[in-house]
Amino acid sequence: MSPIRVLREDGTLKAAVIGAGAFGRHHAGKYKTLNGVELVAIADPSQEVRRTAMANYGAPCVADWRELLGKVDLVSVCTPAVTHSSIVRAFLNAGAHVLVEKPIATEIEEADDLVALARSTGRVLTVGHQERFVFSHFGLLGQTETPLEVSCWRKGPWTGRGADVSVVLDLMIHDLDLVHQLIPGEVRSVQARGRSEQSLLCDEVNAALLFENGSVARLETSRIAEARSRGMRAVYTDGVVEVDFLARTVKNTTPRPLNSIDLADPLGESVSSFVRAVQTGSEPLVRPEEARNALNTALLIDEAAERTIKSRSRRDFVVAAAR
């Protein structure tokens, strides 16, 4: 077991951010606003990104995250998904608490190893499923009733971000985490179809999940859509809850009251919850075991969707991109 980290005499936690891209910059900004936390370093391989981060946050910047092992109390890992497992493992072994952006890993064996390592080292490990904070505030996660059917759709144009993994691990993973919170139990069967246009992996996927209790979840996710759309519909025996996340509107015909869907800063809530768990020893809202379950279902969908895509060689994509 790694030794317990000793805080400074004033109790300040030393924090670092690994990866200063779009999400990493936000994490750095959140740490700068929290009491009891000092942002002591940012790591990113890009010299230009480091220069900008230094100017914006005033924290030392390094090219190699390994320089920070054993020197910080907690860390946000905001690097490409395929790197999550190795970086998280290294910091847990070095005694740091870790908040990693979703997904927790890209292979289920990696996720299992990280869950076990966090438990054995006594470190907090949580995952950036920020939608969980929105739904917790909304009040839907506190319901005792299980929906008969849940539909989720999340679509947007191609941005190029997250292309190291499929759209399932890039975007649908958010909705899978919520579905698992709404519908308890195991997934009995998975059906999926996918389409690839901008990458070698699925860029658009429709999936249907049948749970052991008979509930059904239908998910549509695209990163190559012409326009943005994002919503959810949950059907209960006594009514329906439907949310349009872009319009920020809610239709609720169940007898159970719900709060406003608005939560001004879910990423800020995620970082604050992580720090609070480190400071108090409490459970984070998003436990690593839950993130592991969402990943497992995502990989089952990926496997089913990949079988429906016509085989295209890497050369096909190179030629298409050159046109």
d(CA 96, CA 213): 39
Flag whether pLDDT at 320 surpasses 50.
no
Report, as an integer, the average pLDDT of 110-135: 96
DSSP, collapsed to helix, strand or coil, labels residue 250 as strand
As a whole number, the mean pLDDT across the chain is: 91
Question: Residue 2: its pLDDT value, please?
Answer: 34
Mean pLDDT of 108-121: 98
Q: What is the pLDDT of residues 188-231, one digit of tens each?
A: 999 999 999 999 899 999 999 999 999 999 999 999 999 999 99
Strands in the chain per DSSP E: 13-18, 37-43, 61-62, 74-77, 97-101, 125-128, 149-155, 187-195, 204-211, 216-222, 229-236, 239-244, 249-252
Q: 3-class DSSP state for residue 160?
A: coil
225-279 pLDDT tens trace? 999 999 999 999 999 999 999 999 999 999 999 998 887 799 999 999 999 999 9
pLDDT at 194: 95
For the domain made up of 132-269+296-315, the CATH class stated in words is alpha beta
Mean pLDDT computed over 276-289: 95
Alpha carbon distance 28, 20 (integer Å)? 8
- The residue extents of the domains of the chain are 13-123, 132-269+296-315
231: helix, strand or coil: strand
Please give the model's pTM, rounded to 2 decimal places. 0.90
Of 232, 131, 133, 112, which Cα lies nearest the Cα of 173?
131
**Among 94-98, 185-189, 288-292, 304-308, whose mean pLDDT is lowest?**
304-308
Amino acid identity of residue 159, one-letter, is T
Query: Beta strand pairing status for 149-155 and 187-195?
Result: unpaired
Across the range 91-100, mean pLDDT stands at 98
What CATH superfamily classification does 13-123 receive? NAD(P)-binding Rossmann-like Domain (3.40.50.720)
